[in-house]
Amino acid sequence: MAVCIAVIAKENYPLYIQSITTENELKFHYTVHTSLDVVDEKISAMGKALVDQRELYLGLLYPTEDYKVYGYVTNSKVKFVMVADSSNTALRDNEIHSMFQKLHNSYIDVMCNPFYNPGDCIHSRAFDNMLTSMMMQVC
Amino acid sequence: EQEKGLGALEGVGFRVGQGLSERLTKETPSFKDELDVLKFLCKDLWVTVFKKQVDNLRTNHQGTYMLQDDHFLLLSQLSNGKQYLEEAPKFLAFTCGLVKGALSNLGFDSTVTAEVLVMPCSKFQVVIQKS
């Protein structure tokens, strides 16, 4: 189950971050922040190779509990980070991939909203609902 | 007065360019370099907006690009003679903003100017700022 989803701008500040529970929220924020370093590493490693947009990071970022942190980068260098509880081992690669696709679609809709200024925090209710349903659905 | 109007048009084009480039690059693989981004502009973006590709792309390989559209959609309804040659650049302000916005969303700051020498052919000059 996805416990936390974040949208990070290309300048590495969060445009949107939401956790499924309000307790331990700071922990998830910190997890997302540390995962950004790994994301940057992967981006610079991509270099000249013609790679997929999709990028996956799997691993233990937090030593005491198991969390899997996934990353995804768009062509406009906006990063999506998803923290998932790895006690749910049924969560497969292509499920995560399709979740990121939906996230990307919602983000595009936010971008196309003429009342939204790129670079601002995202306050769209539709976006909120989409993300909440995504986090709920995977539980 | 007119400058403000054209500036506003370019601003609108900028915002549209940002959103459009986000939507169009969803499925495309990552761009290798500046030239790749320009090629995407000339093919995918131009086709989406103007139903055709840019006819000619030239560059000096130092950040300046020239996009030439020999039959620009927005000028096609105007007479091909010299009658509206002076007024024509006003119709290009939105497109300049569009190109600028798309480039900015993909990570490149630029200045875009347009000129019309012979109707309906229009040339857009893009200068990428080196940061």
pLDDT tens per residue across span B47-75: 999 898 989 899 988 889 999 988 888 88
CA distance A139 to A134: 9
Q: B131 in contact with A at a CB cutoff of 8 Å?
A: no
Strand A14-19 with A67-73, pairing: unpaired
ipTM surpassing 0.85 = no
Architecture of domain A2-138: 2-Layer Sandwich (3.30)
The alpha helices in chain A, defined as continuous H runs, are 25-46, 93-112, 125-138
CB atoms within 10 A of CB A94: 7
pLDDT computed for residue A90 by the predictor: 61
B70: closest CA of chain A, how far (Å) = 29
A57 or A98, which is more confident? A98
B88-108 average pLDDT score: 89
Contact list, B26 vs chain A (CB under 8 Å): 74-75, 104-105, 108
B13: closest CA of chain A, how far (Å) = 11
Cβ-contact B123, B115 below 8 angstroms: yes
pTM of the entire predicted model: 0.83
A48-55 average pLDDT score: 46
Residue A105 and residue B26: Cβ atoms within 8 Å? yes
Residue A59: pLDDT over 50: no
Residue A10 and residue B19: Cβ atoms within 8 Å? no
Q: pLDDT tens, A63-82?
A: 446 677 778 888 888 888 88
Cβ-contact B13, B94 below 8 angstroms: yes
